[in-house]
């Protein structure tokens, strides 16, 4: 029984990957439902923009096209996420996976499905420092910098602005807590004081007790490490309603147009950091995103495009859609040496690779992988002026 | 010593939010308790019912807004309540006809009703997301604040501000009105009296010629109306997201049981007990005491009894303690 | 309902499930099928646990989620290596805080005994509790802060005992049983619907504890990379015996290809086979546990003990009058059922390879399990197993089937029709709706479930 089962399974799997033909399937697994469901559509669209660019160039592996297959990671339910990833890899026969998003499910998919099956997984947004040390066998990459770094950047931004005393509230999950920890340590190291570090649960409606507790510390500034369409928004709403805080410090999960659209000028003076490009790459990508109707300043949008572009280039460098080929070539095309490739230049990159050259993908966020396959990344310092996020500086 | 500032602080962070939240819980718990009184089961679908009512209100509000109807400075949603209640009542009556009546005729155990209500909860949960989706929906308009915290500061010269939202004011006023109307209905009208009689002693009520189906129908109608209003006010004050209503279920039960299930007064008392304890237990009294203590004796710690991490556990802990100590609740509701 | 009709129905139902699973295997893939199958097994065990409480004794426990989570915590505590630095940093102070807690409880007990009932006793006890709380916090807060400060990105907790994770399945059962004993002592006196609400509340408190007490569970930062009771796919892919096995199994297929293609194909085959092999290993373990629990449950239900339980369930007053200790029996069955749920919770965490407290949601871990029991047939062990399989299959497959249905039904509307787009976007909510409809339909038209309880009677009935 087992024997026949194994045999049929393999035959089935072989045929699905053999049938791929002119279309290369790539899995897009993000939390389309759940806590970050409002961020994911733009992230997916951004990655698909890169896929479209590669497909339209006609250069990809002699004219192949990439077909993205979307699946839900739910952001929280590891069992459902692994089942969906399993379906992507074994039923759809994808060449690689773009995703996942939240650190918890990303770890589960990497450990239980992607690594065992030898499929590259490249996450645009899983930022938990704990993911740096998973046994990924070289198959897990991320284009978003780890939270450990954002905490430091945020701390130094505050120090430079002379802010010494902040109250911190974070969404009660691995992202929020991890970021709150790294920020608190970095901030203390530069002489700041975190008067309280209190969790808030997403998906609840009333945050007045939390805001009361935060305000009772007497701190002037409130740092919100949450999600802009979840508890983080609720906390800001309750703070403004009670007049508890007017100066906010926002981390990447809070940055987005929907926040400024909702609060308008009430948010003026808020400072934020978000992973985002140095160089002209970011500018170029911003206009591209605008043209495709993607919110250019949304979190992880540039990272998503870069992750998608990297997958396409890695396929080209491998000369096939072979899963392990993608893995062995990803690092090479992302890092120097080679022709520098910015956003919108995927076709050029594909051409260079096809003629046997080498590329160094820079993209929208200045991608450069370290040896465990993650980027150091740069951060944009933003400030809300006149009810709009404005980029102040790049760190 | 700065008693005025301390008082304003207490009002701004404890009393105003707790009164508004307590009113919302009380309205919801009234629905739970009414169903319990006449149908004798804890309705697990009540949170979803509130969400459903709120959803219809939102759809109507959007339609009214698109027509340019406005009753500024009040939110348009108040106008939409009427049709929303009608739709919700219809849904609830259909649910009763197709589902609960079957078990009533069979005289099933309370547990069976509860499981049926879990089924209704699943269906409504899916239906709501199917119609309006899982995301946050904004539908509030009109004047947002009665007093803005900053204006209060400028006006009084105090260092503490006091902010009151229009939605909070409306919530409290509507709750007062509804509670008064409900008590008048239960005490003075014939139907209300028969409902009370039926809730107190079913057999005696049947003997004296009360039509049970009529009583049940009225209970459902009132429950649906209360749930719609509570759901809409809740959405107006915070924001409408289907998931939050599901999370509201336990605080609602806690409020209904703590007050004494089956007793309308109990639901109101319970709602405020739960709301106040959630806030007072997790509030750090550092700043409050800083105002009251003489110079140099100010506290250094936060003086917080329980971290806000456990805020939502507070209502459950109170619920469990009340069930252990006095299972019939503060107002001596139904026997256990 | 006589026995053989029920047996026929059971065979038919399980055959139907088998066909559905095979269909998943053929249409999607065998790896997907095995992933679903493994979760079906775990779901069945959880459903068996609930069935022991509800079906045997009529106890309305809506706190399944809490016990499953405790099982998950046990899996982590048993298998993870201890974090020595954290123990040095705060372990002893933490122990001291618990000692102070025990002392306070002693003090309260003494006060309770020494002072006569009245306001004085209440005052004294309240005073002792308040003092005790602050004493506890004085030791506890710095200790937990110190522990959580140790390398928070990867540790920040005390770690576990470093034992094989299979042991944790037993530990999960024991931990859940212990918690159930305490909860049962205080809550079982309540009538059914109050018990339901109380257990629902208690399970939320348990989750809040697991989420926020980082020194013990790492809280929402999750503990990833738990040990495994089965080999890792990557090790298998490098093991010669495994490669040889795969090669010999597929000799026929491989020999049709040239040398170059053959090695690439073999590599792919080994990867696929390793993933399936691991899943089969898990399935074997789970089947063994399920078989053991099912056998014990069936035996217990047919024993005099089982008859007594049913007698208590059907008429508590009469059973009490017959001299049966109803409260004790209820506690016993509550503890047993919770232990089974805890065991299943530990198994689930083992399969996931990580403890993620954020995943514990009542809809998924309490209400869904209840649907399994009711639809499967409460009081019937095989029914609970059937419910576990059927409902999990529907839960997972409702989404793809829903998408497929919508895709085909609205194909005529055109790719960009708003109706079609809206339906496609909300397709994942279909499963909740379907679940409710299944539950309501079964309750209405077949209230005893698919496999009704079998009541053997000595004389004709």
SS3 A72: strand
CB spacing of A77 vs C237 below 8 angstroms: no
Alpha-carbon distance values, B335 to B258, B326, B328, C194, C311 (Å):
13, 10, 6, 11, 24
Give A289's contacts (C-beta < 8 A, 6+ positions apart): A46, A49, A295, A296, A301, A305
Residue ranges, chain B, pLDDT below 70: 1, 297-298, 329-336
Question: Of C33, C138, C57, C9, which Cα lies nearest the Cα of C389?
Answer: C33
Q: What's the pLDDT at A29?
A: 94
Q: Is A226 helix (H, G, I), strand (E, B) or coil?
A: coil
Residue C98 phi, psi dihedral angles, 5° rounding: -75, -35
A–B CB contacts, 8 A cutoff, strictly below: 111
Q: Are residues A171 and A117 in the same domain?
A: no
Decide if A90 and C30 are in contact by the 8 Å CB cutoff: yes
Omega within 30 of 0 (cis) for the link into C25: no
Cα distance between residue A201 and residue B313, in whole Å: 12
C125 touches B: beta carbon within 8 Å: no
Most confident of A80-84, A94-98, C122-126: A94-98
Q: From CA A92, how far away is CA A394, in angstroms rounded?
A: 40
DSSP letter assigned to residue A298? S
Chain B's closest residue to A230, CA to CA, is: B136
Residues in C touching B116 (Cβ below 8 Å): 440, 443
Picking from B303, B330, B255, B204, the residue whose alpha carbon sits closest to that of residue B46 is: B255
Residue of B nearest to A195 (CA): B302
Report yes or no: C204 at the B interface, CB cutoff 8 Å: yes
Name chain B contacts of A199, Cβ cutoff 8 Å. 308-309
Measured over the CA atoms of residue A2, residue A7, residue A11 and residue A13, the dihedral's sign is: positive
Residues A13 and A61 placed together within one structural domain of the fold: yes
Query: Taking CB atoms and an 8 Å limit, are C30 and A7 in contact across chains?
Result: no
Q: Which of B311, A131, A178 is nearest to C354 (CA)?
A: A131
What Rg do the C-alpha atoms of chain B give, in angstroms? 21
Model confidence pLDDT, tens digit, residues C141-174: 889 889 988 888 778 899 999 999 999 999 999 9
Which of B2, B8, B13, B283 is the best substitution to test chain A (most A C-beta atoms within 10 A)?
A: B13
Whether the per-residue pLDDT at A53 is higher than 90: the answer is yes
Please answer yes or no on whether C32 and A72 come within 8 Å at the CB atom: no
Instruction: Compute the distance between CA of residue C211 and CA of residue A172 in angstroms, rounded to an integer.
Output: 8
- CB burial of B147-178 (b: ≥16 within 10 Å; e: otherwise) equals bbbeebbeeeebebbbbbbbbbebbbebbeeb
Report the CATH architecture of C3-82+159-231+274-445.
Orthogonal Bundle (1.10)
- Enumerate the residues of chain A whose CB falls inside 8 A of the CB of residue C396: 80, 83
Q: Side-chain half-sphere of C6: how many Cα atoms within 13 Å?
A: 18
Compare CB distances from C443 to B116, B250, B310 and report the shortest one's residue: B116
Q: What is d(CA B313, CA B309) in angstroms, rounded to the nearest whole number?
A: 8
Q: Looking at the structure, do residues A314 and A239 belong to the same domain, yes or no?
A: no
Task: Give chain C positions within 8 Å (CB) of A83.
Answer: 32, 35-36, 39, 396
Assess whether the previous peptide bond of A337 is cis (omega < 30° from 0): yes
Query: pLDDT for A166-217, tens place per residue?
Result: 999 999 888 888 899 889 999 999 999 999 999 998 877 778 888 988 988 8
Regarding whether A339 and A267 lie in a shared domain, the answer is: no
Q: Which of A152-156, A389-393, C119-123 has the highest mean pLDDT?
A: A152-156
Q: Are residues A389 and A265 in the same domain?
A: yes
Domain ranges of chain B: 3-325
Please tell me the least confidently modeled range out of A231-245, A265-279, C74-88.
Answer: A265-279
Quick check: B14 and A212 in contact, CB under 8 A? Answer: yes
User: How would DSSP label each residue in A303-334?
Assistant: HHHHHHHHHHHHHHHHTS--HHHHHHHHHHHH
| Beta carbons of C37 and C286 less than 8 angstroms apart | no
Contact C353 A112 (CB under 8 A): yes
Please tell me the total count of domains within chain A: 2
Q: Is C130 on the interface with B (CB under 8 A)?
A: no
| A250 three-class SS | strand
User: Considering the domain boundaries, does residue A197 fall inside one?
Assistant: yes
Cβ separation C425–B133 shorter than 8 A: yes
Among the listed residues B323, B109, B334, the one whose alpha carbon sits nearest the alpha carbon of residue C183? B323
The verdict on B253 touching C (C-beta cutoff 8 Å) is yes
What pLDDT band is residue A277 in, cutting at 50, 70 and 90?
low
Q: Does residue A14 belong to any structural domain of this protein?
A: yes
Domain that holds residue A158: 147-274+378-394
Query: How many whole angstroms separate alpha carbon A188 and alpha carbon C92?
Result: 26
Residue C435, chain B, CB below 8 Å: the answer is yes
Residue C460, pLDDT score = 40
What does the buried/exposed string (b/e) look like for B79-103 if buried means 16 or more CB atoms within 10 Å of the residue's CB? bbbebbbebbbebbeebbeebbebb
Per-residue confidence band for A7, with pLDDT thresholds at 50, 70 and 90: very low
- Given a contact cutoff of 8 angstroms between Cβ atoms, the answer to whether C17 and C389 are in contact is yes
CATH code: domain of residue A76: 3.40.50.2300
What stretch of H or E contains A84? helix A78-86
Q: How far apart are CA C267 and CA A12, in angstroms?
A: 15
Judged by CB atoms closer than 8 Å, whether chains meet at B311 and A244 is answered as no
DSSP A33: S
What is the dihedral sign for C-alpha A74, A78, A82, A85? positive
3-state SS assignment for residue A17: helix
CA–CA separation, B44 vs C198, rounded Å?
A: 13
Other Cβ atoms within 10 Å of A22 Cβ, number: 10
Number of H helices, E strands in chain A: 14, 14
Cβ A79 vs Cβ C392: under 8 Å: no
Q: Write b or e for each residue in A32-45: b if 16 or more Cβ atoms lie within 10 A of its Cβ, otherwise e.
A: bbbbbbbbbbbbbb
Taking CA atoms, B111 is separated from B55, B118, B274, C388, in Å, by 29, 11, 26, 21
Query: B308 and A199 in contact by Cβ < 8 A?
Result: yes
- Chains touching chain C, criterion 3+ CB pairs below 8 Å: A, B
Q: Is A18 buried (19+), middle (13-18) or exposed (0-12) by CB count in 10 A?
A: exposed
Q: How far is CA C132 from CA C116, C136, C145, in A?
A: 21, 6, 20
Establish if C387 touches chain B: CB-CB under 8 angstroms: no
Contacts of B313 in chain C (CB under 8 A): 204-205, 208-209
Query: Hey, what CATH topology would domain B3-325 get?
Result: ABC transporter involved in vitamin B12 uptake, BtuC (1.10.3470)
The span from the CA of B208 to the CA of A209, in Å, is: 50
Across the interface, of A172, A203, A212, the residue whose CB is closest to B247 is A203
Distance from CA of B8 to the nearest CA of A (A): 11
Q: Same domain, yes or no, for A243 and A383?
A: yes
Chains that touch B (3 or more CB pairs under 8 A): A, C
pLDDT tens for chain C, 461 residues long, are 456 777 888 999 999 999 999 999 998 889 989 999 999 999 999 999 999 999 988 899 999 999 999 999 999 999 999 999 999 988 888 888 999 889 998 998 898 888 887 888 888 888 888 888 888 888 898 898 899 888 887 788 999 999 999 999 999 999 999 999 999 988 888 877 888 888 999 999 999 999 989 999 998 888 888 899 999 988 899 899 999 999 888 888 888 877 777 888 888 889 889 999 999 999 999 999 999 999 999 999 889 998 888 888 888 888 888 888 888 999 999 999 999 999 999 999 999 888 988 888 888 899 999 999 999 988 899 999 999 999 999 888 887 788 788 888 887 777 777 777 777 777 767 778 889 999 999 999 988 899 988 776 544 44
Residues A304, A47: contact at Cβ < 8 Å?
Answer: yes
Q: Any residues with CB less than 8 A from the CB of C126 and at least 6 apart, and which?
A: none
**Residue by residue, what is the 3-state secondary structure of chain C?**
CCHHHHHHHHHHHHHHHHHHHHHHHHHCCHHHHHHHHHHHHHHHHHHHHHHHHHHHHCCCCCCHHHHHHHHHHHHHHHHCCECHHHHHHHHHHHHHHHHHHHHHHHHHHHHHHHCCCCHHHHHHHHHHHHHHHHHHHHHHHHHHHHHHCCCCCCCCCCECCCCCCHHHHHHHHHHHHHHHHHHHHHHCCCCHHHHHHHHHHHHHHHHHHHHHCHHHHCHHHCECCCCCCCCCHHHHHHCHHHHHHHHHHCHHHHCCCCHHHHHHHHHHHHHHHHHHHHHHHHHHHHHHHHHHHHHHHHHHHHCHHHHHHHHHHHCHHHHHHCCCCHHHHHHHHHHHHHHHHHHHHHHHHHHHCCECHHHCCHHHHHHHHHHHHHHHCCCCHHHHHHHHHHHHHHHHHHHHHHHHHHHHHCHHHCCCCHHHHHHHHCHHHHHHHHHHHHHHHHHHHCCCCCCCCCCCCCCCC
Asked whether the beta carbons of residue A104 and residue C356 sit closer than 8 angstroms, the reply is yes
Q: What is the predicted ipTM? A: 0.89
Using CB atoms, pick whichever of C431, C433, C440 lies closest to residue B99. Answer: C440
For A209, which of B149, B162, B282 is closest by C-beta distance?
Answer: B282
In a domain, A286, yes or no: no
The Cα of C39 is separated from the nearest Cα of chain A by a number of Å equal to 8
Interface test with A, best of B151, B238, B288 (most A CBs within 10 A): B238
């Amino acid at each position: 029984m087992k024997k026949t089962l194994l045999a049929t399974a393999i035959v089935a799997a072989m045929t699905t990957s053999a049938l791929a033909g002119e279309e290369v399937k790539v899995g897009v697994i993000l939390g389309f439902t759940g806590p970050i469901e409002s961020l994911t559509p733009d992230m997916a669209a951004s990655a698909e923009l890169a896929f479209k660019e590669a497909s339209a160039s006609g250069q990809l592996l002699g004219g192949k096209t990439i077909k993205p297959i979307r699946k839900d990671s739910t952001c929280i339910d590891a069992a459902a996420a692994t089942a969906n990833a399993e379906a992507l890899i074994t039923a759809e026969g994808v060449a690689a996976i773009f995703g996942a998003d939240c650190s918890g499910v990303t770890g589960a998919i990497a450990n239980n499905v992607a690594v065992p099956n030898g499929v590259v997984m490249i996450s645009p947004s899983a930022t938990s420092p704990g993911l740096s040390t998973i046994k990924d066998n070289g198959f897990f990459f991320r284009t978003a910098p780890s939270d450990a770094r954002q905490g430091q950047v945020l701390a130094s931004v505050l120090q430079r602005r002379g802010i010494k005393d902040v109250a911190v509230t974070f969404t009660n999950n691995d992202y929020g807590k991890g970021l709150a920890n790294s920020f608190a340590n970095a901030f203390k190291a530069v002489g700041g004081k975190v008067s309280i570090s209190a969790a808030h649960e997403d998906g609840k409606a009333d945050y007045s007790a939390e805001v009361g507790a935060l305000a009772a510390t007497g701190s002037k500034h409130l740092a919100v490490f949450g999600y802009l369409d979840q508890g983080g928004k609720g906390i800001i709403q309750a703070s403004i309603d009670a007049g508890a805080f007017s100066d906010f410090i926002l981390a990447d999960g809070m940055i987005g147009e929907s926040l400024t659209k909702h609060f308008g000028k009430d948010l003026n003076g808020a400072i934020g950091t978000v992973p985002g490009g140095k160089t002209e790459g970011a500018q170029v990508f911003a206009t591209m995103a605008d043209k495709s109707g993607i919110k250019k300043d949304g979190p992880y949008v540039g990272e998503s495009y870069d992750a998608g572009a990297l997958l396409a280039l890695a396929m080209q460098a491998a000369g096939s859609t072979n899963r392990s080929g993608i893995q062995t070539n990803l690092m090479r095309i992302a890092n120097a040496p080679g022709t520098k490739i910015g956003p919108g230049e995927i076709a050029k990159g594909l051409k260079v690779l096809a003629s046997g050259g080498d590329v160094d993908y820079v993209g929208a966020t200045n991608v450069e992988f370290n040896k465990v396959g993650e980027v150091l990344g740069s951060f944009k310092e933003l400030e809300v002026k006149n009810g709009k996020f404005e980029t102040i500086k790049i760190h | 010593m700065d008693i005025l500032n301390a008082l304003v602080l207490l009002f701004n962070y404890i009393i105003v939010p707790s009164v508004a939240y307590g009113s919302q819980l009380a309205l919801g718990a009234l629905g739970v308790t009414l169903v319990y009184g006449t149908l004798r089961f804890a309705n697990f679908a009540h949170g979803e019912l509130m969400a459903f009512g709120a959803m219809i209100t939102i759809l109507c509000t959007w339609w009214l807004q698109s027509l340019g109807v406005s009753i500024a400075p009040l939110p348009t949603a108040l106008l939409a309540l009427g049709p929303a209640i009608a739709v919700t009542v219809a849904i609830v009556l259909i649910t009763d006809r197709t589902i609960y009546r079957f078990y009533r005729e069979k005289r099933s155990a309370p547990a069976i009703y509860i499981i049926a209500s879990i089924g209704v909860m699943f269906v409504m949960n899916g239906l709501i997301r199917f119609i309006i989706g899982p995301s946050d929906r904004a539908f509030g308009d009109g004047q947002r604040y009665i007093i803005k915290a900053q204006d209060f500061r400028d006006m009084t010269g105090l260092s503490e501000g006091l902010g009151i939202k229009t939605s909070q004011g409306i919530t409290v006023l509507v709750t007062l009105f509804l509670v008064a109307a409900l008590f008048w209905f239960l005490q003075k009208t014939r139907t209300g009296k028969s409902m009370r009689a039926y809730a107190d002693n079913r057999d005696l009520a049947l003997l004296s010629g009360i039509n049970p189906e009529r009583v049940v129908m009225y209970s459902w109608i009132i429950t649906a109306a209360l749930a719609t209003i509570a759901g809409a006010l809740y959405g107006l004050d915070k924001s409408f997201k289907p998931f939050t209503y599901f999370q509201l279920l336990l605080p609602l039960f806690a409020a209904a049981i703590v007050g004494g299930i089956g007793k309308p007064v109990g639901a109101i008392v319970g709602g405020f007990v739960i709301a106040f304890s959630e806030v007072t237990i997790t509030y750090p009294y550092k700043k409050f005491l800083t105002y009251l203590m003489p110079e140099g004796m100010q506290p250094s710690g936060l003086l917080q009894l329980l971290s806000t991490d456990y805020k939502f556990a507070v209502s459950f802990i109170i619920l469990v303690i009340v069930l252990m100590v006095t299972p019939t609740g503060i107002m001596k509701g139904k026997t256990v | 309902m006589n026995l053989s009709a029920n047996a026929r129905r059971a065979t038919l139902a399980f055959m139907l499930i088998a066909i559905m699973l095979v269909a998943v295997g053929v249409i999607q893939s065998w790896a997907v099928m095995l992933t679903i199958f493994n979760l079906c097994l775990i779901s069945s065990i959880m459903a068996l646990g609930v069935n022991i409480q509800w079906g045997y004794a009529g106890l309305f426990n809506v706190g399944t989620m809490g016990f499953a989570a405790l099982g998950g915590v046990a899996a982590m505590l048993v298998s993870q290596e201890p974090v020595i630095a954290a123990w040095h940093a705060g372990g002893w102070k933490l122990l001291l805080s618990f000692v102070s807690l025990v002392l306070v409880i002693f003090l309260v007990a003494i006060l309770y005994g020494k002072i006569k009932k009245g306001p004085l006793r209440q005052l004294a006890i309240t005073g002792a509790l308040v003092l005790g709380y602050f004493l506890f916090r004085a030791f506890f807060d710095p200790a937990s802060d110190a522990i959580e400060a140790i390398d928070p990105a990867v540790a920040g907790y005390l770690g576990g005992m470093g034992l094989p994770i299979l042991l944790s399945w037993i530990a999960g059962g024991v931990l859940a049983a212990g918690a159930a004993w305490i909860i049962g002592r205080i809550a079982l006196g309540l009538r059914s619907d109050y018990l339901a609400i109380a257990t629902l509340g208690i399970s939320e408190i348990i989750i809040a504890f697991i989420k926020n007490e980082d020194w013990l569970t790492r809280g929402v930062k999750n503990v990833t990379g738990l040990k495994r009771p089965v080999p890792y796919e990557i090790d298998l892919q490098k093991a010669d015996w495994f490669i040889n096995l795969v090669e010999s199994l597929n000799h026929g297929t491989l020999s049709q290809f040239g040398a170059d293609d053959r090695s690439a194909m073999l590599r792919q085959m080994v990867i696929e086979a390793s993933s399936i092999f691991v899943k089969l290993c898990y399935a074997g373990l789970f089947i063994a546990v399920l078989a053991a629990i099912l056998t014990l449950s069936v035996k217990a239900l047919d024993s005099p003990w089982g008859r007594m339980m049913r007698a208590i369930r059907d008429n508590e007053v009469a059973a009490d009058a017959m001299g049966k200790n109803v409260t004790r029996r209820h506690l016993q069955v509550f503890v047993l059922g919770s232990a089974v749920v805890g065991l299943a919770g530990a198994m689930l965490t083992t399969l996931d390879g990580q403890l993620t407290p954020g995943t514990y949601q009542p809809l998924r871990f309490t209400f869904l399990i209840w649907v399994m029991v009711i639809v499967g047939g409460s009081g019937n062990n095989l029914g609970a197993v059937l419910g576990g399989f059927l409902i999990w299959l529907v839960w997972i497959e409702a989404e793809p089937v829903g998408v497929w249905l919508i895709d085909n039904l609205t194909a005529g509307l055109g790719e960009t029709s708003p109706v079609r787009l809206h339906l496609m976007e909300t397709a994942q909510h279909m499963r909740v709706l379907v679940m409710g409809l299944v539950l309501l339909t079964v309750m209405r038209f077949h209230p005893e479930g698919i496999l009704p309880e079998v009541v053997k009677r000595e004389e004709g009935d």
